[in-house]
Each structure stands twice: as C-alpha cells, then as structure tokens.
Amino acid sequence: MRMEAEASHYDKIIWSPEPCVPGMMFYKPEKVAKCCIGSREGIILQCPCRIDVGLIDYSALKFTDGNNDYKAGEMSFAGNAYTKVKVVLTGGEDHIESERPLIVRHILEVMRRVTDYKGGFVVETAAHPYRHVGFGSSAMMSESVATAANTLLGEPLTFRELRKLVAYNFVEEADSAKGLVFPGASTGGSFNTAKYGGFVITSSECEAIFRVVIPKEVRFVVGTPKVHVAGPEESDTDVNYMSWERHNERINAAKSALWIVTEIMPFAIQGNWKRVGNAFYNYTLFWR
C-alpha cells in the first residue's frame, strides 16, 4: 500500500501502511498494569459523537506508525448522536456483537496486552449511523469499549494513559483486506470530547488544552454529502484532501493559529456563539 500526499513538488510525504491483524500495537507502555477487579461484572456506557471542526496543524496529521509524533491537534464538539456499549467480564472466550467487530476485537486484545487480565469479554454495541464523515464513529467505538473495559478492571490505567494507548494504536477496518484492520490517523481529540463534553481543543500529545460548555439553545448544522464511504486506504478523496491541507498549512499556519487564539477561544468563553460560528465558517472555507 502506497499513499502520497503532495503539497507541492518540494513537499511530498509518502506512507506505506499495511493492513494488520486486530491487536497489532504500534505503541506499548513499558509496564504491565495490574488490575483490581471488583464486584461489578458488567457496565453500560453511552458516548456522544465527535464533530471535528478542524485540525490545528494539518501538516502534522499522519497514520499511526509507531513514531508517536502526535502534534496535529483538533477542535471538536460533542454531538447528540451516541455510541452505546455493554461490556461484561467472563472467564471464557470473547463474544462480540457489534457493527464494528474488528475495532472491538482490536481494543480487547490491546487491553489484555497492557494489563495482567487473562479473562475474556462479552461486548454488545449500538453505533450511531454516521460513518467516515467526521463524526468519530471508529474512534468513539474504540474509546467507549476501552473505557468500559478499563473501568471493569479497576481502572489500572489513568485517563491520560488510556487516551494515549487508544490514540497511539488507533485503527480502522481495512476495506482492502477482509478480517484485517488498517492504521488510522488520530489526535486524541475524540476521547477528550467524550470525556469532557462541550467544545474541546486538543493539542500536541493528545492533551486537552481548552474546554467550554455549549448552551442547550445553541444549534449546529452539519452537512454530510452522499459520497462513497471508505476507509483511508481506499479513499482517493482523503489523499487529495490531505495534500491540499498540507499546501495551505505551509502558507497560512500562523493565521489559523491566530484565529483560534483571538477569535474562537475568547468568544467561546464569553458565550458569543454567533461570533464563534462566524470564525468557524471562515476557518473552514479558509482550508477548503
């Protein structure tokens, strides 16, 4: 698999990611976390979708590849479309009923490899219907299953550790190879959005650096065009899009950072969502 994102003839990046089995890890903590399982055998979680407004550094977005260079960041909202998961501990083998079984399998294998838990999981999920359109369908599935499993195991991982584990090992289903997964591109922003709600800005190393509550009366309109839905390794649109973003980043990075700091953040704190909306409108068209 070979993908080229080209901002210009002197700025070209080539990726050669390959499909892999669920549970393949690109990042692994140095120590195995010790579980402290309590009396609760099962848990049900509901996580809001993530509406991605835009990245902070478009040129820094890349596939999960083990380099652990996470500097793209993102601005995102928690939306009123939910992914629900039910996870139960079992002494037997895993049993998965899910719209995204490979992603669930991947997370369960990862959790077993970074903890001393040797048992199995029963997982049932109900995903929101928006897939590969910027609503975080894959990310929310990964993060909700990971959070549920971590809770049942007595929280052997802190939120920061769990966020890093999931983001740095993020995958999508492989469209080109049945039964395999494909390295994805993650900023950790969806996990922060699910954790804190409202409007969240995520920066380097998946850190949430800003968060405000969204008033109930505020409404956001999001258009999702009817296009062919595919993962990154099958989507020419994604490659062309990333090339254009890298091109703009070379010229306009300073201005976009200025807008975030002087337009979006202060007016969000003031609750002036009309001005925030205007800033987002300009920011979005600026990069498209």
The whole-number mean pLDDT for each consecutive block of 10 residues of the chain, a chain of 288 residues, reads 58 72 94 92 93 83 76 91 95 94 97 96 91 84 97 97 96 86 90 95 96 87 69 56 63 80 95 90 68
Q: What percent of the chain has pLDDT over 90?
A: 54
pLDDT, tens only, 216-273: 888 877 777 676 665 555 555 555 556 656 666 666 777 788 889 999 999 999 999 9
Q: Report, in this order, helix, strand and coil percent for the chain, each rounded to 5.
A: 35, 25, 40
Whole-number Å distance between alpha carbons of 115 and 121: 14
Give the CATH number of domain 18-215: 3.30.230.10
User: What confidence score (pLDDT) does residue 256 get?
Assistant: 80
Range(s) within the chain of domains with CATH label 3.30.230.10: 18-215
Helix axes 101-114, 159-168, angle to 10 degrees: 130
For 10, which DSSP code? Answer: T
Q: How far apart are CA 119 and CA 102, in angstroms?
A: 19
Query: How far, in Å, CA of 81 to CA of 51, rounded?
Result: 10
